Copies of this chain bind each other. A is one copy, B any other.
């Protein structure tokens, strides 16, 4: 590690633990939650690696986390950021084989985050990248793609049609195209009429616009026809509840995000009783804990193959320099046509 600097630039969490709020991922000013600092470059422990950052992605889960609304407590003074692409420049005992490799990585819970010149994680959270996968794709290859794979797998066990909200999000698009490739019938929910065409091209069997005053009626007709049993929902608002109520017997409303801060009322409790409907959640961390490593590796290999051959790609709305994250993140997030990527 002799050629590594002593200190590095990093974007740190300002607060500890949970906020106790449930506002959703929107941020007006990143400096409310984050601050820039020069801190010591961390040293990898046994089984760990040190990564020199190439690109870090900004996921909704990152925003939930820095706001203290995620499933894990914040650690004050730790760099933010769950996921990225980087080069392994130092290794702890047992991780030597990875030295020098370009990898996708997710940070280990409680470890130093990705929004820094250097980051630490467990060797098992690194996926060596094929040369034909770009840094941008490599920086968004874990959280969203694995979530998409895992959730579509859940949907597939309950039939061929499934519902995806916020379908223009990176994750939504991955699920629609994956569903199509598997011969399933994704029903996409979007907010804007102009998203209908592109999602149909991507493979959605139906696309419904949630701002259409007749959307519930139209969805009920689609639902009666295609019989979706699984609703993969990133929004989790009253509209979600209304659409769930229009789904058939045994439907499952699986929330994996809370883009809206509206608190949905359960207007049809009787459907849980008489129609065996269920409301539940999905969290990638829980999925990884409960899914055998061999199954995870199979899914990871399939994800990378999809990025390498162009079936999947990461739409990037902006590249934001790491040193501009605190001042510029809120503004960069205003463009909703792709993902914000952080570069050193």
B-binding residues in A (CB < 8 A): 22, 69-72, 236, 255-258, 263-283, 286
Contact = CB atoms under 8 A, between A and B. Distances in A.
Contact of A273 (B71, B263, B269): B71
A276 B275 CA distance: 22
A278 B282 CA distance: 11
B280 A279 contact: yes
A235 B36 CA distance: 50
Main secondary structure of the interface of A (DSSP, over half): loop
A273 B256 CA distance: 6
B263 A258 contact: no
Interface centre among A264, A266, A276 (most CB of B within 10 A): A266
Contacts of A268: 22
A82 to B, nearest CB: 14
A254 to B, nearest CB: 8
Nearest to A286: B276
27 contacts: A22-B267, A22-B268, A22-B269, A22-B270, A70-B270, A70-B274, A71-B270, A71-B273, A71-B275, A255-B269, A255-B273, A256-B273, A258-B269, A258-B270, A263-B266, A266-B266, A269-B281, A272-B280, A273-B281, A274-B283, A274-B286, A276-B281, A276-B286, A278-B280, A278-B281, A279-B279, A279-B280
A111 B286 CA distance: 47
A279 B278 contact: yes
A69 B271 CA distance: 10
Given A258-B269, A264-B269, A276-B286, 9 more contacts: A22-B268, A22-B270, A70-B274, A255-B273, A258-B273, A272-B281, A273-B281, A274-B286, A278-B279
B274 A263 contact: no
A273 B278 contact: no
A255 B272 contact: yes
A336 to B, nearest CB: 22
Contacts of A275: 71, 281
Closest 4 CB pairs of A and B: A71-B274, A272-B281, A273-B281, A279-B279
Given A273-B71, A274-B71, A263 B267 contact: yes
Nearest to A289: B276
Contacts of A283: 273-274, 276
